[in-house]
Amino acid sequence: MRLLIIGGSAFLGRALAQEALDAGHEVTVFNRGRTAPDVPGVRSVRGDRESRPDLGRLAAEGPWDAIVDTSGYVPQTVGASVRALADQAAAYVFMSTINVFPDWPATPITDASPVHDCSPDAGPDDGDYGTLKAGCERVVVRDFPGRALSLRLGLLLGPHEDIGRLPALLLRIADAGPTRDLRVLAPGDPGSPLRPIDVRDIAQFTLGAIGQGLTGPYTVAGTPANASTYGELLQACITATGSAARLDWVDADFLRNQDVEAWTELPIWIPPGEVPWSVDTSRAEAAGLRCRPLRETVQDTWAWLAADDGQVRRSYQPKRPHGLSEDKERALFAAWDAAKTPSREADPAS
């Protein structure tokens, strides 16, 4: 199969390029050459998807069996790519998100859940991330009719993560090394459920979906069969890094009342009440979605981060800062220890 990836050098697009090459496909990637070097073995076309002449040059490199758009965020921009390439491919796969569901993460998501209303011609200022992604899905359906597939993705993890979530946890836990008795803040309950998905599993599903000629929207997240917990996630980080870190579980209600951000400062964690992992993936499972165990994702992400004698670790620059600063973690522990200690007035022995 001849595959074009719009993007293709970073996290998800990179995994897709690598999986496609490994499966024997011919892969073209289109990007500006800024974010990361391309995967060895791909055919690179340099250009900016916001530039009409660059899209024209790209179209001249076709045809392809399928285009996978990993880097579309604005309907107007995605529409320009779709129209420039409509005669050059049999299928267009758009990488979307479960943020297209306005009810996520407050209520469980099924295929029948409502989707944000967004014009297929919306510009960058016409909505938030999830709203604009819904508009992108619509422009692909409108201008690539009958041949469009949208994958509504849940939380992604895996090697080459450029967001900073799992790397923040791994790097913090690795701070302890094999001997230092380091107290690491662990939020809430070790049994809190988790269903992230490895980018390599999305890549394999995508290739299978193209092969089957799937169209329409599919929700693609970690499956119930590979569900995990926050405790297993942190334990996998300890095992992967060989760290002597000691997890100290801090009550969710206590954290809720502190000046600390769930999801970013406490990566991949949302306090009880919201249900980010209650997502129905049964249609994707029926179409072949299979997910590896979370511990394998953690192990391989650490192997990537720690490669080259730690050089990658030192130069690692996430898109956004994630995790707690040491000062903030220390202050939270001080407040938590004080909250756990009975006050003198309440202690009848004092």
Ligand X SMILES: NC(=O)c1ccc[n+]([C@@H]2O[C@H](COP(=O)([O-])OP(=O)(O)OC[C@H]3O[C@@H](n4cnc5c(N)ncnc54)[C@H](OP(=O)(O)O)[C@@H]3O)[C@@H](O)[C@H]2O)c1
57 sits near ligand X (criterion: CB under 6 A):
no
The residues, ordered by sequence, that sit 6+ positions from 347 with a Cβ below 8 Å of its Cβ are none
According to CB under 6 A, which one of 85, 163, 266, 268 is a site residue for ligand X?
Answer: 163
Binding residues with ligand X: total (CB under 6 A): 23
301 sits near ligand X (criterion: CB under 6 A):
no
Residue 256 or 320: which CB sits closer to ligand X? 320
According to CB under 6 A, which one of 4, 49, 59, 188 is a site residue for ligand X?
Answer: 49
According to CB under 6 A, which one of 22, 50, 111, 121 is a site residue for ligand X?
Answer: 50
Written as one string, the DSSP assignment of 57-126 is HHHTT--BSEEEESS---HHHHHHHHHHHGGGBS-EEEEEEGGGSTTTTTS-B-TTS------TT--TTS
For the bound state, the minimum distance from the C-beta of residue 19 to ligand X, rounded and expressed in Å, comes to: 13
Q: How far apart are CA 57 and CA 54, in angstroms?
A: 5
Residue 31 or 76: which CB sits closer to ligand X? 31
Residue 33 or 342: which CB sits closer to ligand X? 33
For the bound state, the minimum distance from the C-beta of residue 156 to ligand X, rounded and expressed in Å, comes to: 4
Residue 89 or 155: which CB sits closer to ligand X? 155
Per CB under 6 A, which of residues 106..135 are in contact with ligand X? none
Residue 71 or 204: which CB sits closer to ligand X? 71
According to CB under 6 A, which one of 11, 92, 269, 336 is a site residue for ligand X?
Answer: 11
Q: Is 252 helix (H, G, I), strand (E, B) or coil?
A: helix
Q: How far apart are CA 117 and CA 138, in angstroms?
A: 10
Q: Are 147 and 246 in contact (CB under 8 A)?
A: no
Query: Which residue is associated with the tokens 């670790």?
Result: 313
According to CB under 6 A, which one of 35, 110, 119, 278 is a site residue for ligand X?
Answer: 35
Phi-psi region of 8 (alpha: psi -120 to 50; beta: other; left: phi over 0): left
For the bound state, the minimum distance from the C-beta of residue 36 to ligand X, rounded and expressed in Å, comes to: 7
10 sits near ligand X (criterion: CB under 6 A):
yes
Written as one string, the DSSP assignment of 10-54 is SHHHHHHHHHHHHTT-EEEEEE-S-SSPPPTTSEEEE--TT-HHH
Residue 66 or 176: which CB sits closer to ligand X? 66
